[in-house]
Structure 1
Amino acid sequence: MVPFCRALALSVAFTSALARERVDTHIHALPPPYIEALEAAGGDPSGFPTPQWTLEATLRSMDLANTQVAILSLSTPGIPIAGTGEAARSLTRTMNEYFGNATSLPKHTARLGFFGVLPDWRDVNGTLAELDYLYSEQKLCNGVTAYTTYGDRLLGDPLFAPVWDRLQRYKALVFVHPGTLTVAPKFIASSLAQPIVDYPLATTRTAVDLVMTQTMRRCPDVDVILSHAGGAVPFLAGRAIGGLALPEIADAVGYNALGAAKDFARFYYDIALSTSAAQLHGLLDFADASHILFGSDFPYVPQAAISTLLAQYATFVTTDARGPLVSPARLRENSLKLLNRHALGKAF
């Protein structure tokens, strides 16, 4: 209890001096039309409870965390819950209009942005059309959200090549969030929902896929944010890179270790639910500190848990020799530089 109390005291002292220092790139919104579609489809198939959400609650959470800017996104299962037809396309547009209107209000414009919503990528034409709407017509988003898988396809699947070509044309920022997936065998403990273990591993698999399919190499102007410190990427990417030292694997993949290492170095990482010393050291061992961003994962992470994670993070920043590398000021600088590089109009 004493270490936690000390950490909490550090957090309070540390954050109270920041005056809305943070920029949160992993914070979700659940607008009413989306909740209606989710309930009509039988709820979240991941097994994780869907939290209550309002825009006012988001702003309160931001104030409590000393967050100045938040980039809202639609969490999993997202639009794929509505299928790949016209109903899903209509829901996508409704969400983007909601986000565009909410973040354009004078009282919100300096504090809120959003990652545009896309259909299930298996609806390739619908996805391309929505990208054109977001970037050529609406021109308000700060990037787009993509899920780690669509059906049984990872993001580097050849079916999705036209989507990546369009993202490259628009020099887009892509926030990759774990998506609902089919996993077998399932955990015997039925309460162990997919976000607990499966989601970080899903992020790991699609990140490796994006490198090994050379999707990252073909899209030099697209930046990609990986959720939750990249899952196990900091710990397992070395195995993927090292595997390419074997001629048989390198020939089969059509890539070499040097190219893969350069592509892995391009990813950005938020620290939502990833504030322990082990996680932060692992991330710093693998990624450049300039590619680390802050994320709260509100409202899927309740406010009490956010406060605990902030206390843990503050302890690392204030007591660890590498803490200054991930200080709130550094993460803020990283986020603003990335967001403003991809700004369509409004910059923070």
Structure 2
Amino acid sequence: MASQMPYKIDVHSHYLPPAYQQACRENGHANPDGMPYLPDWSAEQHLELMDKLNIRRSILSISSPGTHLVPGNRALAAKVTRECNAYGADLKKRMPHRFGYFASLPIPDVDLCLQEIQHGAAENCDGYKFETNGHGHYLGDPLFDPIFDELNKRHALIFIHPTTPKCPCSPGGAPVNAAPLAGKYPNPMLEFFFDTARALVNLFMSGTIARCPHLKIILPHLGGAFPPLQSRFTGFSTLVPGPWLGVPESDVRDAFAKQIWFDLAGFPFPGQIKGLMEGSGVGGGRILYGSDFPFTRAEGVEMLLGQMDEGMRGLFGEREVEGMYHGNAEDLLGVSQVE
């Protein structure tokens, strides 16, 4: 089946270097975000899946919990981040036609992030990856203005990945999880979608997106829970008096058309994609393929790809389908189709 589909560029897939797996297990993330496992991973396993499913190139990133594993442990964050980003850079250097990578930025440590932006540029990263929050500090927080200003100056591409929602506690205290159903369900099932919405609303209402027009952004899972909330947050922010920035819905749609893309990782068909298209006015030209491997296991990736292909062809023409599989990503990443 996959061999008969167009080839794919996968912008939402993950790598877990051995040192990162060990660091997670040693620092409280053996079952990240309530998942029943921390997946094994190797480049060889990844290539096997890519070859089976006709994925020409995968742009790898570190998934949740990211590389800042322990609140306040700056030394560990620096070590894990540098190891992961160096591993991604080496993998791309050795197999540039198969792998790219998004360099991890260890929020909320601003200085470390600024250092890694420079390292990533020197090491030829494809962009930079954030979690939706760093130990309770959400994207859009003024704390992160220096990071976003630097990325905007560089006309950088960023990939945002959800993580467990957190609330910062009193000064000096550890942040606390803000996921009341976490004892019943893994956070990726529900909370990840809500956290994507929180981060995106905050990026708009803080003025970060308006202030950074040269920034290019990939949102995961078709924007998570954001699309059905779009009219509510824009309407509320402009009609209800308060100390917040009013964001007209036209500004959101304009940003979606100019600087924001959406990946298909997860379960986008049959319903979620219609909410994005009809509620947010997003067309096929802003949509990118994503597998979420290895957190979605190989058999799941293949099953979801079958659903995805059927759903695509029911909604889009052949040119748009080709774009979502590879053309949109090639344009965004500056990747040649003949490589």
Same fold (TM over 0.5): yes
CA–CA distance in 2 between the matches of 1:214 and 1:263?
12
Judge conservation of contact 1:23–1:294 (CA < 8 Å) in 2. Answer: yes
Deviation at 1:45, TM superposition (A): 4.4
Show the counterpart of 2:321.
327
Q: In the alignment, what sits opposite 1:197?
A: 190
TM-score (norm 1): 0.86
**Higher RCO (CA < 8 A, seq sep 6+):** 1
Is 1:67 paired with 2:61? no
Residue 111 of structure 1 aligns to which amino acid in structure 2? Answer: R
User: What amino acid is the match of 1:131?
Assistant: I
TM superposition shift of 1:247: 5.6
**Counterpart residue identity of residue 28, structure 1:** H
- Determine the C-alpha separation between the residues in 1 that align with 2:303 and 2:235: 37
Alignment of structure 1 residues 1-348 onto 2, 5 Å = 12=1, 15-18=2-5, 21-43=7-29, 44-48=31-35, 49-83=37-71, 84-105=73-94, 108-119=95-106, 121-135=107-121, 137-138=122-123, 140-182=124-166, 183-184=177-178, 186-187=180-181, 190-246=183-239, 248=241, 252-265=244-257, 266-285=259-278, 286=280, 287-318=282-313, 320-322=314-316, 324=318, 326-340=320-334
Measured against aligned partners, the alpha-carbon deviations of 1:298-326 in whole angstroms (never above 9, x if no partner) come to 000011111111111121233x2436475
Q: Distance in 1 between matches of 2:333 and 2:229?
A: 28
Equivalent-residue separation in structure 2 for 1:254 and 1:306 (angstroms): 40
Determine the C-alpha separation between the residues in 1 that align with 2:197 and 2:319: 24
What value does the CA root-mean-square deviation take over the aligned residues?
A: 2.2
Q: 1:228 to 1:321 in 2, by over 3 A?
A: closer
Counterparts of 1:201 and 1:339, CA distance in 2? 28
* Paired residue secondary structure (1:221): coil
5+ long unaligned stretches in structure 1: 1-11
How many angstroms does 1:283 deviate by? 2.2
- Offset, 1:181: 2.5
In 1, Cα distance between equivalents of 2:155 and 2:190: 32
Question: Structure 1 vs Structure 2: percent identity of aligned residues?
Answer: 31
Q: Do the aligned residues in 2 keep the contact of 1:269 with 1:292 (CA within 8 Å)?
A: yes
Matches of 1:288 and 1:214, distance apart in 2: 25
After the TM superposition, which segments of 4 or more aligned residues of structure 1 sit over 4 Å from their partners?
Answer: 323-326
What is the aligned partner in structure 1 of residue 173 from structure 2? none
Give 1:6's aligned residue: none
Q: Which 5+ residue runs of structure 2 have no aligned equivalent?
A: 167-176
2:283 and 2:234 map into 1 onto residues whose CA distance is 17
